[in-house]
Structure formats: C-alpha cells, structure tokens
Amino acid sequence: MARIIVVTSGKGGVGKTTTSASISTGLAQKGYKTAVIDFDVGLRNLDLIMNCERRVVYDFVNVIQGEATLNQALIRDKRVDNLYILPASQTRDKEALTHEGVEKVLNEMSETFDYLVCDSPAGIEHGALMSLYFADEAIVVTNPEVSSVRDSDRILGILQSKSRRAERGDDPVKEHLLLTRYNHERVERGEMLSIEDVNDILSIPLLGVIPESQAVLNASNQGAPVILDEDTEAGQAYEDAVARLLGEERELRFLDPQKKGFLKRMFGG
C-alpha cells in the first residue's frame, strides 16, 4: 500500500512543482519506490523540472481513459533508482481527471509503490481537489507572504472537509507546513513574515524551511531537482524535509543571520 502525499498550496507559483520534484527524488534516494504524478492537466511542467520532457509518450489521462497502460505511461528517472514520473496531459481539460479514473490509477499504483507524490495545480478547482482527495498526507507549500498564507489556510479547510479521509471519518490527512522562498535577512528587517508568524497563524507542524535561492532556478534550467544539488542550501533544506517526513528529527538550518558589519548593525541594515 503506497502512502499518498499531495503537494498543495492554493496560491499559484509558490513552489509546488519544485517541491514535488525534490521530495519525490529524496524519497527514492532513501530507497522507497516513488512516483511523482503531475495533476496540472493542460499546463504540464513537472516533466521539464525532472528532465524527461522529451520522453513523454503517454500521460495520466491516457491511462485513465484506457488508451495506455500504466507501465507505458510511467517514465523511469535516469539518475535516481526507484523514481518514476507520471506526466500530465497537455491537451485535455481538467475534467478528464474523473474521480473514478484517478482512484483506479492510484489504486493500481498503490500495489507496487511505497510513495505517490501528487503535484497539485494552483487554485481550488477540480484538478486541485482531485489531487488532494485521496491523500494520506499533505505538504502545504507556503511563501511568507499574506496571500499565500491565507490560501494555505483555505486549502487546510478543504483537506479537513473534502478529502476522502474527511468524508469517511478516517484519521485526518496528516498536514505539514513547508515554508519556501524564505529570506532570513528580510525577516530580520521586519519586511517578511517569520517562521513563527506563519506558524502562529496556520498552526500545523513545520516540515521545513527552504530559503529563497538562485540554486532553484539553476536546477530548473538544467532539469535536475534541486535536492540533487547537494552543495546548495536549498538542496540540503529539501533533504532535511524528506528526513523529517520519514520521521527523523532534524534541526532547522540556514537561519542564522549573516555576520553583519558594525555599520550595518548600527543602522539597522
């Protein structure tokens, strides 16, 4: 039985796909057979981040509609063992992700995988709802910024009322907060919400803090999830998040303010 993890946010562009790519890669590196599934029908992007855009033949919707088998559609990652990608369709509309269809595919994948990571589209429409409905756990990706925090709270409400676990009255979906694009210097200057601020408002367990980093852009340029870039802070922060997801306790890193010069300190820089 696979554990189903949705990566969700409500708000667009906060780092869901970046996170899905790195978390799934990290889980596979730890030896778990993992698939990352792109639910963003019409706007597929995960394939680019995972560097398999030229190997896509069949997609998620083809499998749902019986035009391809799961094995035909799954793309095996060339760098990391145990890692597979199920790309989204670019041509169909989101309604092609039917409830029964998604359930059937997830059930079939559950038989052979340990983890299924679902990359949600932005918004709270059909595609986003489908990606979270079957989840056992949710990684709520949030930027330290008002609209992102508010949307995350919306999504938490949906997880608590509209997921399969909620409808069945099972144990609730396990919630994790992943704060991304965090800039410690700006927090120090009072220009950006701090970890504590966001925690006070959302009050769900913190999975990790990913710093705002050029390494993320470099990684997506090259089509390599940033977690593979082990020398970077963002890569290491994702590695920590994966370890915590698996139950390990790790201290938060990379949050010490940079050593400030005397003048800067004097003038509150």
Ligand X SMILES: Nc1ncnc2c1ncn2[C@@H]1O[C@H](COP(=O)(O)OP(=O)(O)OP(=O)(O)O)[C@@H](O)[C@H]1O
Which residue ranges make up the site for another protein (CB under 8 A)? 145-146, 149-150, 153-154, 157, 161, 187, 189-194, 197, 200-201, 266-268
Choose the one of Mg ion, another protein, ligand X, none that binds residue 258, judging by a C-beta under 5 to 8 angstroms depending on kind. none
Our CB check for ligand X shows the closer of 48 and 166 to be 48
Our CB check for another protein shows the closer of 103 and 188 to be 188
- By CB under 6 A, is residue 227 in contact with ligand X? no
- By CB under 5 A, is residue 94 in contact with Mg ion? no
CA gap 155, 124 in Å, rounded: 8
Strand partners, 4: 116
- By CB under 6 A, is residue 246 in contact with ligand X? no
Place of tokens 């083809």: 62
Give, for 180, the enclosing helix (H) or strand (E): strand 174-182
Pick the closest to residue 64 from 107, 24, 35, 21 (CA basis): 107
Which letter does DSSP use for residue 131 in this model?
Answer: H
Residues in 69-98 that interact with ligand X by CB under 6 A = none
CA gap 1, 171 in Å, rounded: 16
Cβ of residue 13: shortest distance to ligand X, in angstroms? Answer: 4
Q: Are 17 and 65 in contact (CB under 8 A)?
A: no
- By CB under 6 A, is residue 44 in contact with ligand X? no
Choose the one of ligand X, another protein, Mg ion, none that binds residue 193, judging by a C-beta under 5 to 8 angstroms depending on kind. another protein
Cβ of residue 268: shortest distance to another protein, in angstroms? Answer: 6
Q: Between β-strands 75-76 and 83-86, what pairing exists: parallel, antiparallel or unpaired?
A: antiparallel
Cβ of residue 38: shortest distance to Mg ion, in angstroms? Answer: 8
Q: Residues marked as binding for ATP?
A: 11-18
CA gap 46, 125 in Å, rounded: 19
Of the listed pieces 14-22, 28-36, 169-177, 215-223, which binds Mg ion according to CB under 5 A? Answer: 14-22
Residue from 8, 18, 22, 51 binding ligand X (CB under 6 A): 18
249: exposed, middle or buried (Cβ count in 10 Å: 0-12, 13-18, 19+) = exposed
Residues contacting residue 130 through CB under 8 Å, at least 6 positions apart = 39, 94, 97, 99, 102
Tell me the backbone φ, ψ of residue 238, rounded to 5 degrees: -70, -35
- By CB under 5 A, is residue 11 in contact with Mg ion? no
Strand partners, 96: none
Cβ of residue 178: shortest distance to ligand X, in angstroms? Answer: 10
173 to 202: interface string for ligand X, x by CB under 6 A = -------xx---------------------
Residues that bind ligand X (CB under 6 A): 9, 12-18, 40, 121-122, 180-181, 210, 212-213, 216-217, 220, 234
